[in-house]
Amino acid sequence: MLCGAAIAQVQTRWECPDRSKQGRERIRVSDGVTHSLATQSPLPDVSDLRGQKLDSVVVVGILISTSGEVICTSPISGSPDLFKRSQETALKWRFKPYEIQGVYMDVETRIQFQYKKGKVKIVVPNR
């Protein structure tokens, strides 16, 4: 269980059609905290981009269900050409469920993919 200090605020701004319970509250948690809960964190495939000059940090907002599955993504910032690739990869991530006082919560957070020189890595901010 993580302390309440990591929580920024209760959010209900994203709509996840057919995948989330209507009206269920979710919390926003820093990406540094949620990254430590990741059990699967694949990187986007950039093999088709070899030879192209890549230099962008793509930030993808994600909604994690109470089971730890990413059920929704939303582009936040970065190269529009890399959003789809980043969002598809984010949907493959898995997390340990987030629990507060014995209650599992949906979590809103983000993943930052740094594309540079034909490679990609995850940007993990300090907690």
Whether residue 17 is contained in a domain is answered as no
Could you list the pLDDT tens digit for every one of the 127 residues in the chain?
333 333 333 333 455 554 445 556 789 999 889 999 999 999 999 998 887 888 899 999 999 999 999 999 999 999 999 999 999 999 999 999 999 888 899 999 999 999 998 899 999 876 5
Tell me which residue of 106, 99, 81, 93 sits closest to 24, measured CA to CA.
106
Work out the angle at residue 72's Cα, subtended by the Cα atoms of residues 102 and 95, and round it to the nearest 5 degrees: 45
pLDDT of residue 16: 59
Distance CA 4, CA 124 (A): 20
Whether residue 86 is contained in a domain is answered as yes
Whether residue 51 is contained in a domain is answered as yes
On whether the CB atoms of residues 90 and 42 are closer than 8 A, the answer is: no
pLDDT of residue 5: 32
Domain membership of residue 106 as a residue range: 4-11+26-123
Whether residue 93 is contained in a domain is answered as yes
Distance CA 38, CA 11 (A): 21
CATH number at residue 82: 3.30.2420.10
